[in-house]
Amino acid sequence: MNATAPVFAGLALLLAGPVPALLSAGSWPYRTPRAALVLWQAVALAAVLSAFGSGLAIASLLLVPGPNGRPTTSPTREIRALGLPLWLAYVIVFALTLMVGGRLIYMVIRVGIHTRRRRTRHRILVDLLDQGGELTSTAHRFNGGRQSGDGWAHRAADIRVLAAAEPIAYCLPGLRRRVVLSQGTFTNLSESELTAIVSHERSHLRARHDLVLEAFTAAHEAFPRFVRSKSALDSVKLLIELLADDSAIKVTGPTPLARALVACSNSTAPQGAMAVGGPTTLIRIQRLSGPLGDLRIASAAYLVAAAILVVPTLAVAIPWLVELKRLFRV
């Protein structure tokens, strides 16, 4: 049992810092974004569980079980049994674990509330600024007097159009989701390119990629600055864009999507929304020119993700549970 706490603490530190930095350095996730995202989620979950496991293991050590397995909670007895340096180390690590747990709960609530408030305000704004009355004539001119087969002249209920000359495209997730486009998107993109952009944004909405981002943002903020790595959050942001790109490719193919990404590369979005452009646009365009998908890499990533969650649990959690049962035995 004495080894349980440091093993859990070491796993938490490893999975919160060095492992994300190592994973983000590779280019293989570009070919298998779904498997890579599963691996990232396994790493993040294992880091959180390891941190909690370390704290619980230390708490059981600080109780100093007596001969009958029942805890003795007197600090003086704890210090005599463990020694002052080790007792102080345990107390500090336990306090850090409580801080991480408290911050994680706080950040999940804070990120969720603030994000939804911003989205609600912006959704109201785009509904007010929507150029819906002008879209039919714009789409009619864009299609040379013909109605688009995708029905752009009679747009879907989730589409909102802003009066801006530059190409802009982003989505607002949530129960009342929106795909926001600009007039410049219609005038600068071909029909297939426009279809690719909308398919990309709707993929975000269907898969609820915003919830994945919220979870990783909360986990990132929960760990202390000297431990956490921003690599995980940045990599997940890229991976969900790659997943949305793959969904668009199934509809239009890679060429229309690549052209649309170039046209909308400077597209920005308010906080809480997901824009089609951004700093990763060049990487995404370059990816479209190469092979996509690799079954062997994907299978390996899934196996590693399972191992990251299962192996530490079997090796560390089960002995701890056995000791906990003995500790509180009547």
Q: What is the pLDDT of residue 315?
A: 65
Asked whether 178 and 126 are in contact (CB, 8 A), the reply is: yes
What is the CA angle 80-317-95, rounded to 5? Answer: 50
Q: What is the pLDDT of residue 141?
A: 41
Q: What is the pLDDT of residue 142?
A: 41
Tell me the pTM: 0.81
Q: What digits encode the pLDDT tens for the residues 112-129?
A: 999 999 999 999 999 998
Spans of the chain below 50 pLDDT: 1, 136-151, 153-154, 330
Supply 263's token pair. Answer: 């046209």
Sign of the torsion formed by the C-alpha atoms of 133, 156, 268 and 140: negative
Q: 262 Cβ partners below 8 Å, 6+ apart?
A: 281, 285
- DSSP of 158-187: TEEEE--SS--EEEE-STT-EEEEEHHHHH
- DSSP of 264-278: TTT----TTSEES-S
Q: What is the spatial distance between Cα 12 and Cα 228, in angstroms, rounded to a whole number? A: 10
Q: What is the pLDDT of residue 154?
A: 45
Q: What is the pLDDT of residue 63?
A: 67
Q: What is the pLDDT of residue 143?
A: 44
Sign of the torsion formed by the C-alpha atoms of 290, 291, 292 and 293: negative
First to last CA, the chain: 20
